[in-house]
Amino acid sequence: MAGVRTVVLVLCAGLVAVLLGGCGDDGEPRDATRAIADLLRQRSAAVRDGDEAAYLRTVDPQSGPYRQQQRTVFRNLDALPLAAWTLRLDDPAGATVPAAERTTADVRLTYRLRGYDTGDATADQRLEFVRRDSRWYVAGPAPGSRPQPWDQGPLTVVRGTHSLVLGAGHPEGRLRDIAAVADRAVPGVSAAWGGAWARRVVVLVPASQAAMGELLGAGPTAYAGVAAVTTGRHRDRTPADRVVVNPEAYDTLGTLGRRIVLTHETVHVATRADTSPATPLWLSEGFADWVAFRATGRDPRQGAPELARAVAAGRLPRSLPADADFTRPAGGDGDRVAEAYGEAWLAARMVADEWTPDRLVALYRAVGGAESREQAVGPALRAELGVDLGEFTARWRTYLEREVG
């Protein structure tokens, strides 16, 4: 981490008094706020400099297990190729100050991984601070604060040719296998998409499905049956996405399934800068599946069996899948979700087959560049494919009947 040269701490001076519940004549709350700001500055500098002793000096000496856990956190961070690391107080108005000289505050972390991120990654945590003998310390996370990968135990870092895999609770060999699959995915995605993206992918492998839920701010079963997800889909010209693997679901897949999953998620990383709220899920998920499936030799009946059964039973969809179709309702089964993914895949596949792969990429970029959903799909279809939405949908339904009927 010697390459980290600057740490920027931003504190909104106009909100200083709010952080600690107002400022009296003696200025003590203002002094405390400045002390906490300085504490975060010291903590950031310690990470930047690789100084474990200085880092631990920011931790409450009476925090017991938390202090020991922070030793592990520091060593995890020291193993990462950090190019930037910034801590700052965020949302001071949300902080509280109990009488026991203990407060909670929202802290924003901004960081970048050298060689992998083309922009900053951000993370928010709510931390507890305590004052002992006129000095402030970090006392631990506040209840409900979302952990980061380095907070979940000893981290193993594996560098692939095109990937960086961060795993907790897994043997190095298993992580190297995941890196090998990701390394294979990146060139295929680049060949299909082109564009200015990092051409590298960061993969997080938490210890369990429940740990994955913690990382993503969800419950322990929220991602049951989901092999991987990508953080952040909407447009950001300097993206720093992460692919998060559910080890329990991923392990149920064979070699081909793992390749399809990681290629699909890598597409979302590559297309992030051209994906916006205007992009319907049928296009973003369909394009990702088109890239993931196109070199596998899987035909539509093999790749979309749920859709094939639905069409064979006379349930030919009348319209392209809505965004809600890609989320399984509470207590529901996954058949409709699987059908929606198949429908989306074949919509993208149809464009590549009946127009060209280049037209498919152009359509994706045109839709993502629109100001709103209403101004996106119809105009982009006319501009890139020469059809309106009704004509496109009719051709798609005919394509479904031919390919899976």
Per-residue pLDDT tens, the chain, 405 aa: give them.
Answer: 444 433 333 333 333 333 433 343 344 555 777 888 899 999 999 999 999 999 999 999 999 999 999 999 999 999 999 999 999 987 544 444 443 588 888 899 999 999 999 888 999 999 999 999 889 999 999 998 999 999 999 999 999 999 999 999 999 999 999 999 999 999 999 999 998 899 999 999 999 999 999 999 999 999 999 999 999 655 555 567 999 999 999 999 999 999 999 999 999 999 999 999 999 999 999 999 999 999 898 999 999 999 999 999 999 999 999 999 999 877 666 789 999 999 999 999 999 999 999 999 999 999 999 989 888 999 999 999 999 999 999 999 999 999 998
Place of tokens 């973003």: 284
DSSP state of 153: S
Q: Could you give the residue range(s) of every CATH 3.30.2010.30 domain in the chain?
A: 147-273
DSSP state of 320: P
Q: Could you give the residue range(s) of every CATH 1.10.390 domain in the chain?
A: 276-405
What residues are paired with 132 via a beta bridge?
135
What residues are paired with 119 via a beta bridge?
none
Q: Could you give the residue range(s) of every CATH 3.10.450.50 domain in the chain?
A: 13-145
Candidates 271, 363, 358, 345; CA nearest to 303 is: 345
For the structural domain made of 13-145, what CATH number should be given?
3.10.450.50
Domain 147-273 class, CATH top level: alpha beta
Radius of gyration of the chain (CA): 24
Token pair for residue 49?
């400099």
For residue 195, the tally of other CB atoms under 10 A from its CB is: 15
What is the C-alpha separation between 101 and 249, in angstroms, rounded?
45
For residue 223, the tally of other CB atoms under 10 A from its CB is: 21
Token pair for residue 14?
């106009």
Helix, strand, coil percentages (3-state) for the chain, rounded to 5, are 50, 15, 35
DSSP string, 231-299: S--S--SS----EEE-HHHHTTS-HHHHHHHHHHHHHHHHHGGG--TTS-HHHHHHHHHHHHHTTTT--
What is the C-alpha separation between 234 and 67, in angstroms, rounded?
37
3-state secondary structure of 168: strand
Alpha carbon 214 to its chain centroid, in Å, reads: 13
DSSP state of 325: G
Domain 276-405 class, CATH top level: mainly alpha
What residues are paired with 283 via a beta bridge?
none
pTM: 0.88
What is the C-alpha separation between 155 and 397, in angstroms, rounded?
48
